[in-house]
Structure 1
Amino acid sequence: MENIENMLKERKKTLDKVEVPEELGERLSRALNGKRVLKRRNNSWRIKAAAVCLAVLLAGYNFNTLAFYGKKLLGYDQVMNGTLKQLNELGKGQLIGKSHTFQNGVSVTLDGIMLDESQLLAFYTVHDPRGQVDSVNLQPIMQLNGLFGSYMAEGGQGEINEENTEIKWLMGFEPPFFLERTLHFKFGLIDDNTLEEGAISFKLDRTKAMGRTLKKTIDQTFELEQTKIKFESILASPTRTVIYGSIQNILEVARDQLRGERLRMNHLTVSLIANNNEVISQQGGGMSTDMRGITFEQSFDALPEDLQSLHIKLESMSVDRDVNEKVNLNKVETKREIEILGQEIEIDRVYESNDSTFVTITSDESTVLTRVYLMIDGNEVELQNTVTENLDKLPDGRIRHTRTLHFPGKGDNLALHIERITFTELYNITFEVPVN
């Protein structure tokens, strides 16, 4: 976390002052979280999911066309989890086998799909006969268009072959409206600074779709310190399990905005436990702000067939809050403790060196002053950098982080002006979801 306050200030200060229309922000966020990145993998299968590229030798097969053996899709084992592999073995899914070729010879083939109540999974191949498929610049925003709306990509993962001619992709999309019959898989290729668009149209075979295994209203609300979190419902399908919830409704969002106490949720840690001891692997999660307020979803693997009990464990939540706190500083004081939104922050030392003022503070490791200034004789001075000094583990397991804030300039009257703070709230609450 070295230099984290300064890094966040430099990278985010300007963007945080830009007000993006909420509906646009939500859709772009969900689309860009599905961005396909070949050389790194994000932890999300989400709204914020991403892509991994694994170089493997696919000897003995030709993947230019879709290969089925007894309705089983071949060539996608490396991008399927265990659940999808089992569904594939059972021949679940719909064959598409349609392609679009761009002017530079690069082609996109929609091999097949899997559809259930929680998502539509698209299996597609990107082929570059030049052997430069890792350099193909497909647009990060992909979508399915239908008669009743557009369905954005939520995230996925892919595999590149050793010859660097093909990538096998598995991409998740929002489930289409139940009356949709024809969908248009839309994408774009940027080549030589020119955008060329492509589309593959196909008819949905609803007889190949899978339903749901569990759908329950949860309606559980928990409150700790400054934040309230509500678990609203859970939807389990053959391909995944999704928990839906909210942090604030639209009126609460507006209230905090007017008060200058805007809340942003950074990360939510939730576990899903089946049959008392079987932890269901997490696939990702996402958050959005729209006319409903601040909402979230957490995605997990499919539930076991022999489901007897189901529990959700709320572990922690990291939030970012606007504040407006001014703390007067004294260069002769040695140590003082302040509290902001329940977070204890120790001011250890204030000193001057080389025409700069330094403020040493100690807080929990997760507590960060993400926007902080120093008032020097009435003038607001930006943070120049932050230096980590110590990380001390307490007997209760908490880690206290000592760091020094560096502000250019010196003066007689000093005050720390804190406008935004990030911290983690620990819940560790477990509750049961009825399965009958």
Structure 2
Amino acid sequence: MRTIEERLQEHKQASDRMQAPPELESRLRNALDRVPNKKKKNEAVLWFGLSAAALVLIIGTYQYPALTYYGNKMFNMELNASSFSEAAEEGYGQVVNKSTTLEDGTVITVERVIADDNAFTMHYSIDRPSGSVYSSGSFRYNVGNIQGFMTNSSTIGGGGNSSGDERQYEGVYSFEPISPFSRTLTVTFNEWLENGERVSYPISFKFDASKAMKSLVKEKISQSVSVDSGVMYFESITASPSSTLIKGHIRIDEKEKHWFFGKTQLYVNGMEMNPTRTQVQFNKTTGLSDFELRFDALPTDVISSIELLVKESSGYYKIPESISLASPSDQSIKVGNEKLWIRSVSKTDTGYDVVVASKQFTILDKDNIFAEALGSQIPVSSISSGRPWDLGNGNVLWERTYSFNTSDRPETLHLNGYHYMKTYNKRVTIPIE
């Protein structure tokens, strides 16, 4: 595996070698001298061509960093750190050092930014004035979106630490990727005052897209995994120096009312990667649910295998079951692959309430549940939302109240099935080119 120093040196050498051939000017001049004079009817075309060339020149001059960014991608000039923190320690990215001073003398400084395909990461510091220190209770600052040309990137996450004397806080915030055509970016820090008022402090700085870091792996996956309630489609993987991002979408059966994303693991060279974020969002355009799975950055640039493991996801257990309500207790009842607890059966003003507990993602199918009393079937009239039941041993179950309008005490509870978190262990191998 190459070290970060070796990769930085390779990038510098490659950049130094990127220059026009010495004979290019004379070759172009000779070619122009050989062009015959055109007739007047071609003058309009000539003027149009010159205008277009001038426009391209203006755009190219203004957006040179962005064009350099895309040029590096097209010519495969890859530069990757084995970890984001390593890249920052090596001074990679763009130095900013822009500050703003709050009314009480606190100084907020944007120190460095690093951009890649998966995120825009900002290193910043907050220095308290002399005589005041930090405490967890006095921390009252947050960060808004990064804004610029074609850019309005929301935060992904952040964190940091206070110095030993608690006068300085050093933090890192990650944002959604920004447009490489942004020349000036603005980040807004917010301070919440003791009276509840929010004061905003924008910091603007120039952005050089040519310093963006490129991705180690950027591949289409185009594979799917079927589960009980639908299909999970894995579309792409992008492994940048800051993180590894898996994108896809879910096609859920129309009749399905419950969906649990579950757990999908990423393995690189047989080693499990640490997950950092799972996001599922409904797409109004497609009518599907898009998902993003974020993991830590790849630990090496020598990749022999990449594999996804759909460990668990939404499942449905369908089989008629009858559960006795004669003796409610805190003892579990095995129903299929899961356990249920009949905690109580109590009389109410309108009938009877049956309290049933289960794991958090085990939900009885309410469309096919009823109680039986003296030979009569009584449909459920209402179901409460789930509430935690702390067992006191580190485990927490969830209970719901099922209400039945009947004057007779229910004897049995009938259900047709339940939704739960099912183990699949289905693998998706990602080809590496």
Q: Which residue of 1 aligns with 2:24?
A: none
5+ residue gaps in structure 1?
Answer: 1-80, 392-398
How far the C-alpha of 1:199 sits from its partner, in A, is 0.8
**Cα deviations across residues 386-418 of structure 1 (Å, max 9, x unaligned)?**
757899xxxxxxx9x897958799832759799
Which residues in structure 2 correspond to 1:32-431 (within 5 Å)? 83-129=83-129, 130-132=132-134, 134=136, 135-139=138-142, 142-191=144-193, 192-248=195-251, 256=254, 261-265=256-260, 267-275=261-269, 277-291=270-284, 292=286, 293-303=288-298, 304-317=300-313, 351-352=345-346, 357=352, 359=354, 361=356, 366-368=361-363, 380=381, 383=384, 411-412=407-408, 423-431=420-428
Equivalence for 2:29: none
Query: What SS class does the counterpart of residue 186 from structure 1 fall into?
Result: strand
Contact 2:146/2:153 (CA < 8 Å) preserved in 1? yes
**CA positional deviation for 1:208:** 1.7
Counterpart residue type for residue 111 of structure 2: D
Say which SS state the counterpart of residue 150 (structure 1) adopts: strand
SS of aligned partner of 1:177: coil
How far apart are 1:379 and its partner, in Å? 9.0
Deviation per residue, 1:129-154 (Å, 9 max, x gap): 22145313224x62100121300011
Q: AA paired with 2:306?
A: L
1:350 touches 1:357 (CA, 8 Å); kept in 2? no
Instruction: List gaps (5 residues or longer) in structure 2.
Output: 1-80
Check 1:386–1:138 CA distance in 2 against 1; reply closer, same or farther (3 A cut): closer
Report the identity percentage.
22
- C-alpha distance in 1, partners of 2:108/2:365? 43
Q: Structure 1 212/388 Cα, relative in aligned 2: closer, same or farther at 3 Å?
A: closer
Report deviation, 1:113.
0.8
Change in 2 beyond 3 A, CA 1:232/1:164: same
Counterpart-to-counterpart distance in 2, 1:426 and 1:402: 20
The higher radius of gyration belongs to: 2
* Partners of 2:226 and 2:174 in 1: CA distance: 33
Question: How far apart, CA to CA, are the structure 2 residues paired with 1:390 and 1:367?
Answer: 20
If the length of structure 1 is used for normalisation, what is the TM-score? 0.62
CA distance in structure 2 between the aligned counterparts of 1:156 and 1:402, rounded to whole angstroms: 31
C-alpha change, 1:215 and 1:327, in structure 2 (3 Å) is: same
Residue type of the alignment partner of 1:271? Q
2:325, 2:172 → 1: CA distance?
59
Q: Is the 8 A contact 1:227 1:247 kept in 2?
A: yes
Work out whether residues 357 and 398 of structure 2, in 8 Å CA contact, stay in contact via their aligned partners in 1. Answer: yes
**Which residue identity lines up with residue 206 of structure 1 in the other structure?**
A
**Residue in 1 that maps onto 2:66:** none
What SS does the corresponding residue of 2:308 show, helix, strand or coil?
Answer: strand
1:432 matched to which residue of 2? 429
Check whether the contact 1:97–1:110 (CA below 8 A) recurs between aligned residues.
yes
Maintained 8 Å contact 1:378/1:413: no
Higher relative contact order (CA 8 A, sep 6+): 1
Helix, strand or coil at the partner of 2:154: strand
Shift of 1:435: 0.9
Q: Give the counterpart letter for 1:187 in structure 2.
A: F
CA RMSD of aligned residues (A): 4.6
Number of residue pairs the alignment of both structures matches: 332
Cα drift, residue 422 of structure 1 = 5.8
Q: Cα deviation per residue 1:242-292 (whole Å; 9 max; x = unaligned)? A: 1111113xxx6xx84xx6x44444x531222222x2222322222222324
